[in-house]
Structure formats: C-alpha cells, structure tokens
Amino acid sequence: MAVDCIIFGFDDEELKLLLIKRNLEPEKGKWSLMGGFLREDETASQAANRILHSLTGLRDVYMDQVRTFSQPDRDPVERTISIAYYALIKIEDHNKELSRQHSAEWFSLNKAPKLIFDHGDMVTTAINLLRYKTSVQPIGFELLPEKFTMRQLQKLYEAILDQELDKRNFVKKINQLDVLTKLEEKDMTSSKKGSYLYQFNKEKYASESKRDFSLNV
C-alpha cells in the first residue's frame, strides 16, 4: 500500500506542480510525484504528511485525499495500491534545500512533463477535485500570503479554474461573500496609487454554516 502526494503551489501568476526525478528503477530519472509506502504504525494521512514534510519541510498544511488508484497493472514491478492526496502550499515557504536533495522542480501545469505510471491521471483527478472544492470552500486562500491584493486573489482563482474572470464581477462576488477584511495598508509595487491589501477572515467564515463559494462570473 502506497501514498502519492500531488503538491500544488502558486507564484502570483500560475498554479504549479512540484515534481521529483525518480531515483530508482523502473523509470529511473523520469519525472514523478513524491510517494512512499505506508509504515505499519501509521494511517494513510499520516504517511502523506510524512512524505510532504520530507520534501518541503512543511507541516500543518492543507491536504485532502483524492482517491485510491488500484489498477492491477499500474506498477510494472508488483501489485501496488496507492492512495493519492493533494496539498496546497505557498511556494516561498517550502524548504528549497530539501527540494534539491530530491531533484525536485516546480512546473506550470500546462508545461508539466510526462509522468511515470498513472501519476498523470492522479494529477488530473486532483485538479478536478481542487476546482470543485474551490467552488464550495475557501481553500484557495491556503496558496496566498497572509496579506494579499484583490488582483492576487483573482489571479489565483483564474489559475485554479483555468479561465479568465471579469474583474468587476469577480470583486462584486467576493465582496458579497463577506469573508475578507480590507486593511489600511497598500501594496505599492503594482502601481503609483497602490492596491489595498486584504486578509481572509476565518472567524467571519466560521460564523456562517452555509455559504456558496461558486463565483459564476
């Protein structure tokens, strides 16, 4: 029984995928997801968190189970069932030295190389799940800095959904959700006037048991 981790990050423009160079046969030297076998004393989610930490140095990040991949011939060596998880991390937060040790690199989703075994199917399934979850929960904020501009937020949604969004409609919908706190601070790197910074208000979100995060813009 194995676990594979699909690690997504965001660089203010694109949604990216962290991949490693496989260091053993079969398919040695080819691009792969980070994975490993379950230990006797851990659950699948514990194994996923262990594997994620070994590659990024991060703990307590957003992680969700994708599904189980159990095709009999998915691994050419022996029958292996894999439980896939996806994680959302801030690219600037991960330990670059750990990534170098695993020959890991970030790839834009539309420029990612061909992956070994059924790892490409895992990534596709994870992206579809991420898009659905983003429409019903505010999980996308896991990919943003603590303080962000409305432009950064829109860019994130466009990257996840893989479509351009109308700025006016997007801002209107986000404001209707009433889960952001507008700060007095501004990001002065985007223009001379600057752009106001926002924070996701977890308390405000938690106070509402039912909320539709579908943008429909």
**Active site (catalytic) residues:** 97
**167: closest CA among 125, 110, 217?**
217
Q: Is 62 helix (H, G, I), strand (E, B) or coil?
A: strand
Burial 181-217 (b: 16+ CB within 10 A, else e): eeeeeeeeeeeeeebebbbbeeeebeeeeeeebebeb
Q: How many CB atoms lie within 10 A of CB 16?
A: 21
Instruction: Report in angstroms the alpha-carbon separations of 125 from 66, 116, 129.
Output: 7, 15, 6
